[in-house]
Amino acid sequence: MSELDFLDPTIAPSIVLVRPQMGENIGAAARAMLNFGLDKMRVVNARDGWPNEKAIAMASGAGRVLDNALHVDDVSAALSDVTYSYATTARARDLTKTVFTPEGAAQDALRRMAQGQKVSFVFGPERSGLENEDLAQCNALITVPVNPDYGSLNLAQCVLLIAYEFRRQAMAHPPITQAATDVDRAGAAEMDALAQHYEERLEEAGFFWPEAKAHSMRVTLRNLWSRLELTRADVQMLHGIMRQMVRWKERGSDR
């Protein structure tokens, strides 16, 4: 059984923990990751701040995962350089997104990595899990097929299963990385800027109406962007479309 030496550290998947509560669980997640050779952790807005003493105490031996972890303020920042992200949820929500098993997600991730994409697995807070607003920023969902009558996976166990599946699939089907020749996939930061651009202009244009439906319309639109696999050129074109519509509007009724 060989090490995942072939995994270029610059493209290894990141594990994103969103608003984790207990330091112990962050430390246990670091251990779970390292057991299966993953060491790139990003923490969004940990309840007890960062660095976290209890996480460090629990991580014994996997402390370097925490040392190198990024702590950021929101999901967008955690995913800024990521081209495809998988959000773990206890059950598929009422969102139009591909739902993967852990196995399917690992296979999909490796296929994307072979194209030069950067992927990330995203985990929610201990009790509540990810909010719909978080899910809308991720590209796909993963649900672990637990016993429908008793599903009680904790955060570190969930990280463990995903890391295990990733390693299992990576060893069975090592990604053969090709230079990203034709596909120049837009990263999450670019997608985020695009979503924001549209949201702001549409806000001005009175699109999010009536007020009572505005929030869900925004989430739906965010979710739509998250599913599109756009290149940088696509993003530029979509920015251009919106800019032009605004310019047209600003020229006034000229017909």
Q: Considering only residues 53 through 72, tell me which ones interact with its own copies, judged by CB under 8 A.
A: 61-62
What lies within 8 Å, CB to CB, of 223 at 6+ separation is 95, 96, 97, 135, 136
Q: For its own copies, which is the closer residue by CB, 37 or 77?
A: 37
- DSSP codes of every residue in 230-252: -BHHHHHHHHHHHHHHHHHHHH-
What lies within 8 Å, CB to CB, of 103 at 6+ separation is 165, 169
The Cα 86–Cα 124 span in angstroms is: 12
Is residue 218 a contact point for its own copies (CB under 8 A)? Answer: no
Q: How far is the CB of 214 from its own copies (least distance, A)?
A: 13
- How many CB atoms sit inside 10 A of residue 18's CB? 23
Is residue 151 a contact point for its own copies (CB under 8 A)? Answer: yes
Q: Considering only residues 165 through 194, tell me which ones interact with its own copies, judged by CB under 8 A.
A: 167-168, 171, 174-181, 183
Q: How far is the CB of 211 from its own copies (least distance, A)?
A: 15
Q: Which residue has the tokens 């097929």?
A: 145
What lies within 8 Å, CB to CB, of 241 at 6+ separation is none
Which of these segments, 47-55, 68-76, 78-86, 218-226, binds its own copies (CB under 8 A)? 218-226
Which of these segments, 7-15, 18-26, 118-126, 196-204, binds its own copies (CB under 8 A)? 196-204
Q: How far is the CB of 77 from its own copies (least distance, A)?
A: 26
Q: Considering only residues 85 through 124, tell me which ones interact with its own copies, judged by CB under 8 A.
A: 92, 94-101, 103-104, 107-108
